[in-house]
Amino acid sequence: MKAVFMSCNQSMYDEVLNIMEELGIRGFTGWEELIGRGSNEGEPHLGNHAWPSMNSALISVAEDEKAAEFLARLRKLDEENQEQGLRAFAWEVTSMI
């Protein structure tokens, strides 16, 4: 099992949820309004007058194969929308209840 954390511009959040639906990844916890700034390039998303855009994020746990496909689809979405900003990270889940 892998935990996948994803953060993106709010404008991309529905597309991320659609990808999860297509892959059969059901469970997640999401945050619809977050602030942030990318580590490499791009504009800050701070929700203020100067930088009005916001981010959204989610975390989901999925089987290794589904998590790998999810990451691949997120990478493709990011490449198609480079100006918007999307980052995803995965790590091993060692136990669940």
Per-residue model confidence as pLDDT tens for the chain (97 residues): 999 999 999 999 999 999 999 999 999 999 999 998 877 777 888 889 998 889 999 999 999 999 999 999 999 999 999 888 899 999 999 998 8
pLDDT at 43: 80
pLDDT at 83: 83
Alpha-carbon separation of residue 16 from 50, 76, 83 (angstroms): 27, 11, 16
Task: Write the single-letter amino acid at 21.
Answer: E
Tell me the C-alpha distance between 46 and 2, whole Å: 29
8 Å CB contact between 39 and 53: no
CATH of domain 2-92: 3.30.70.120
Task: Write the single-letter amino acid at 10.
Answer: Q
Domain-by-domain residue ranges, the chain?
2-92
pLDDT at 13: 95
Residue 78, Cα to own-chain centre: how many angstroms? 10
8 Å CB contact between 11 and 62: no
pTM for this predicted structure: 0.90
